Amino acid sequence: MSTKDNDKYIFCEIIEELSFADIDKAAIDYARYDLIDTLGVSLAGATSPGIDEIITLHKAWEGKPESSVWGRKCKLPAPSAAMVNGTMAHALDFDDTLDFAGNIHIGASVIPAVLAMADRVGGVSGKDLLTGIAAGMEVSSRLAEIAKDDIGWHRTGAFGIFGATVAACKIMGMEAPIIREALGIALSQASGTRQCILDGALTKRLQAGFAASNAVTSAIYAEAGLTGAQDPFWGKYGFFEMYQGGKYDRSKDLSRLGEKFLITELSFKPYPCGRPTHKFVLAAIRAYEEMVFRNLALGQISKISVQCSKQVHERHMHNSNPDRVPENQIEAQFHVGFLIASALVNGKFGLSELENIGQEAALSLMDVIEWDPVGSNYSGDIVGVLCVEYSSGDNIEIDISESSVAQSPSTVGKLVADKFESCIQYAVGTPGLKISEQLLEVMFSIEDMQNSTELTTKLLEIN
């Protein structure tokens, strides 16, 4: 390794030395929010398709019961627990996103890896837990930012493994050279493309689990003395050259990690669907509100047109084929027509609406939805218009804009807490309110916690 190459990996030393006191309050808050958000959506997704099968398989393979499986009253070896929990975290596509960096979901790999490893080592302090989360999230965020061109990887898996590996290493108290080895080992396991989204396959959620599980494995292997590629990111056959085909921002690296935290720009989803579809859902909800205000009837809708640029249409047309009704939740989460119809019928789009993909009123409304792409782009922030026409001659027009779903740091804490409560109630019913209050109290003061097993024990018992 040249001196220049070593400088690029000085971030491993930064990670080794990083302490809770080094991280600014905003970044700590976002690490906490991500913990809360990820646990909430994981518990809501604990009985989603594919989860029972994975648990059954990993139980059959046996192994040391060292790490908690959230909401399922069982323990598995740390890599297995991370696999199950990571899959649950992404099962509903309701987890965090970094909107400007390929919509990577960071928490779905980092949080399961951190908590599985923390259980494996007998628990860590709340401050150390948040430090590991912040470090891992930041590495995933920075890598996604550097890879400016999106060429089809499911970044949640292919990029997320590296942040999750850093987080696991931090929990284990590893020194910089071993962290670098672990990242090299992770390179050999980094995987996940978006083909599963196009095909509506369960591997979309599995890829988050793979990233979390393989991250834990990478850290354990490195601790055991196994070695990995020494230039995993910028080498001739490293991540950016091989996985990105050299299409990345060469002016950026990780050498100034921790000076300013990118994780404070994370978004937390208000709707359980693909983040790029949120603007359509919100436009439909606003159209519903206008319809109610003007005393118009749902049954009078004669036509719904999604007027947008050709670029926006091309991004969504495969998943939103008007001639194809979603056959499962994965297809529904990316089908703009279904999402608009469901939001117009129900005035909202949450977990119950996602569960009811066969709702007759929504499916009937899909028949009158048309895409209307135009040659020129809309100006500024506006990417299109949702136009609802009624047989009475009335019309409703709602702008579709990117900024409409932007989040303010001053309101994120309440959004995350409210969403957590709704997820727990969805998961366990009426008792969920008391459970969520107890867990939120723990997590909003988690830096005072002496041992993280206090949290994972509570998660183990939820059912």
Report the CATH number at residue 58: 1.10.4100.10
pLDDT tens digit sequence for 369-396: 999 988 666 766 788 899 999 999 999 9
SS3 label, residue 232: coil
What pLDDT was estimated at residue 310? 84
Rounded CA-CA distance 154/157 in Å is 6
Q: How many CB atoms lie within 10 A of CB 2?
A: 8
Q: Report the pLDDT value the prediction gives residue 2, as an integer from 0 to 100.
A: 42
Tell me the per-residue pLDDT of 327-368, one tens digit each, with 9 for 90 and over: 988 889 999 999 999 999 999 999 999 999 999 999 999 999
What pLDDT score does 58 carry? 97
For residues 259 and 297, membership in a common domain is answered with: no
Give strand ranges (E) for 74-212. 74-76
Structure token digits, residue 120:
């494996």
Paired tokens of 292: 């109610």
Same domain, 386 and 446: no
pLDDT at 374: 81
Q: Does residue 283 share a domain with residue 191?
A: no
Strand partners, 400: 384
**Which pLDDT belongs to residue 375?**
66
**Contact 307/372 with Cβ under 8 angstroms?**
yes
Q: What sign results for the dihedral spanned by CA atoms 353, 358, 361, 364?
A: positive
Q: Which residues of the chain have pLDDT under 70?
A: 1-6, 375-377, 379-380
Among 382, 404, 426, which residue terminates a domain?
404
In terms of domains, do 312 and 262 share one?
A: no
Structure tokens at 266: 């994370």
Q: What are phi and psi of 248, to 5 degrees?
A: -155, 165
Contacts of 443 (CB under 8 A, 6+ apart): 32, 35, 36, 39, 455
Domain that holds residue 316: 275-404
Residue 153: phi, psi to the nearest 5? -70, 145
Question: What is the pLDDT, as a whole number, of residue 377?
Answer: 67
pLDDT (0 to 100) of residue 312 = 86
What span, in angstroms and rounded, lies between the C-alpha atoms of 279 and 379? 16
**Number of domains the chain contains:** 2
For residues 35 and 153, membership in a common domain is answered with: yes
Same domain for 12 and 150: yes
Do 178 and 244 lie in one domain? The reply is: yes
Same domain for 396 and 413, yes or no, is no
The DSSP-derived string for 273-314 is S-GGGHHHHHHHHHHHHHHHHTT--GGGEEEEEEEEEHHHHH
Residues 192 and 303 in one domain: no
Q: 153 and 72 share a domain? A: yes
In the chain, the amino acid numbered 364 is: S
Give the dihedral sign, CA 92/147/22/1. Answer: positive
Rounded to an integer, what distance in angstroms lies between the CA atom of residue 289 and that of residue 266? 28
Q: Do both 349 and 423 map to the same domain?
A: no
> In terms of domains, do 23 and 170 share one?
yes
